[in-house]
Amino acid sequence: MKAFTFLLSTLILILILSTKLTSTFNDRLIVFWLLFNIFIGYIEAKMFLNQNTMSKKKEEYDKNPYFYEKNYSLSELKTDFAVDGFLEYVRQSGDTRYIETYKGDFVTWLEMLNAIISLIFSSIIIYGIVTKKINILIIAILVLILSSMQLYGTVLYFLSYYTKVNSDKVNKGIKWVIHLFLFNLPWIVVPLILIQYYSQIIVNGK
């Protein structure tokens, strides 16, 4: 299975699951976003735990990049998909901090922290939305905390990229824009929308 097919299939499965778990349009969108964050958190955790492997594979991968073309087996999706995906991101964005094997910049630790926070907060919020056993105001507060942390982390990432990454060596074409900006943009846009939406719920008291 190719990377794009796997990602598209995962998104469709998450969409179906969010539809099955909830009954309203807004709840479905929110649960979809939270489930997607759990999936991304898993990818980030795999990257964090395999930085040594990424560092060793980078030179060979850059000579023959294959992430978007390779047909991954089921076992490779479990082991190689996240590593190859981040190697492609490093190649296109120029952000080599992901292969510094824990010793360099804070960015990989930020990714791992996001994975842990997303898993915990998203699970609690989904449970509250689906079962209705958590007060909506509590859910709103949890969403505000999670969204604020994601927004802060993404802005911090961009600031650190432009102060610490030597992007002069990167071809700043459409692929650079897609990988650096479009892949990260949802963690600015969606948190802003959720902050506005749940702030209104808190203000209105329901």
Contacts of 132 (CB under 8 A, 6+ apart): none
User: Is 148:195 a contact under the CB 8 Å cutoff?
Assistant: yes
Q: What is the pLDDT, as a whole number, of residue 164?
A: 79
* pLDDT beneath 50: ranges in the chain: none
In the numeric block, the tokens 């469709």 are attached to: 12
pLDDT at 1: 87
Q: Are 134 and 127 in contact (CB under 8 A)?
A: yes
DSSP letter at 102 equals T
Q: What is the per-residue pLDDT across 184-199, written as a single tens digit (0 to 9) for each?
A: 999 999 999 999 999 9
pLDDT at 37: 96
Q: Give the whole-angstrom CA distance, residue 178 versus residue 65.
A: 17
CB distance 89 to 183 below 8 Å:
yes
- Taking the C-alpha atoms of residue 52 and residue 69, their distance in angstroms, rounded to an integer, is 24
* pLDDT score at 130: 96
CA dihedral 62, 105, 79, 43 (to 10 degrees): -110
| β-bridge partners, 71 | 2
pTM score, whole prediction: 0.91
Written as six digits, the tokens of 87 are: 């190697």
Under DSSP, is residue 71 helix (H, G, I), strand (E, B) or coil?
A: strand
| Cβ-based neighbours of 27, under 8 Å, separated by 6 or more | 129
Please give the Cα distance from 42 to 8 (Å, whole number). 16
Mark residue 72 as left, alpha or beta (left: phi above 0; alpha: psi -120 to 50; beta: remaining).
beta
The answer to whether residues 6 and 72 touch, using CB atoms and an 8 Å cutoff, is yes
